[in-house]
Amino acid sequence: MPSAQIIARKPNHIQRIFQISARILVLIALAFGSCSSAFADEPKITVDADVQPIDFRTSKEVNDFIDFMVTRHGFSRTELEIVFSQVQFSAQSIQLIKPAPPTKLKNWEAYRTRFIEPIRIKAGVEFWTKYAATLNRAEKEYGVPAQIIVGIIGIETLYGKNVGKFRVLDVLSTLSFAYPDTPTRESRMAYFLSELEQSLLFARESGIDPFSLIGSYAGAIGWGQFMPSSIRQYGVDFDGDGKIDLRNSPEDAIGSVANFLSQHGWETGLPLVFPATIVNDHPEDMLAKELNATFTLQQLADVAVPTLKSTPAQPLYGLIDLQNGEKPTEYWLATHNFFAITKYNRSYFYAMSVIELGKAVCHAKFPHISCD
């Protein structure tokens, strides 16, 4: 994610946000996930009374942002003023982005049940059947198995059924300039302001009306729920029509998901995850909190050992936990490929659900072959 430099003049709100270091912006992106599964579903909500709209036409912060886009990227001030005169405040995005109160213990079984279910599996089989040739091509070109791509798109949007109905410019502008009052407000505003910048750049590069970008309440777009920065960096014109369209082209979505994983270290043929048995009272000390596979089995042996004798000794592993509420926590040994999936969404639950859904769809489609 770019860290922009603004012309030298008296510091203002936009300068302070964009002068956050590149390292912090990267961490913000990782915290959200470069792409995000949580953004596609939009339940009916009641907006709190304290959500107050802003007028983008008269906002000083918006005016400063326009100055930045003109100076840094050569946009027309008049055209951007026209754009922001048409941007609408999204009270729903403010309400939906607020962190939920911590009410329950994490529960992998409940999370898994939400996504690994008959309707999603059936839709996955239909998707795989319809786009088999494209999935095979993506696997050959990027080395990412079809069932992993199928798993991600199924978790993200139920194969295109829940891609979002918000104008991306509305929600990104709202979250950039009117983010709710939370402990992470400044960093989140910086993140969404960068995505607003990226959405305008993408629209200009693609020759499209920026208001034609439709997505989730947080600005994620298409079958794979890519944020604008991820579209510019990892999006692929996989159907060969001369444009990247992740909302209307499942082929582009397939290629883009595969390219994303490839660019985040996917290794062809490397297995994903193996069950572990804990042999130490403090396994949390060895958990892969940085989402990387950095240990050999020998280095992990004082804390966790493979449950299965067939677990290969060669790869590096990271220890992960899947908490099950009041039930015992599951522990697993995860490879680089598991953690490549967490770059899509920084969650053990998410990555494991992608793997499990892909496997379930594969078993349903190919009942006589191994999908492990």
- Tell me the pLDDT tens digit for each residue of 54-79: 999 999 999 999 999 999 999 999 99
3-state secondary structure of 144: coil
Phi, psi of 90 (to 5 degrees): -110, 95
At residue 5, the pLDDT reads 28
Confirm whether 61 is a catalytic residue.
no
- The residue annotated as part of the active site, out of 156, 195, 197, 251, is 156
At residue 17, the pLDDT reads 47
DSSP string, 203-222: HHHHT--GGG-EE-TT--BT
AA identity, residue 94: I
Q: Which two tokens stand for residue 53?
A: 């709209």
Q: Which residues contact 191 (CB under 8 A, 6 or more apart)?
A: 1, 25, 28, 29, 32
Q: Contact 325/345 with Cβ under 8 angstroms?
A: no
Q: Residues in the chain with pLDDT < 70? A: 1-34, 36-51, 103
Cα 227 to Cα 1, 66, 176, 215, 218, distances in angstroms? 11, 21, 14, 9, 9
pTM: 0.88
At residue 20, the pLDDT reads 42
Phi, psi of 209 (to 5 degrees): -70, 125
DSSP string, 261-330: HHHTT--TT---EEEEEE-SS-GGGGB-TTS---B-HHHHTTTEEESSTT--SSS-BEEEEEEETTEEEE
Beta strands in 91-175 (DSSP E): 166-167
At residue 71, the pLDDT reads 98
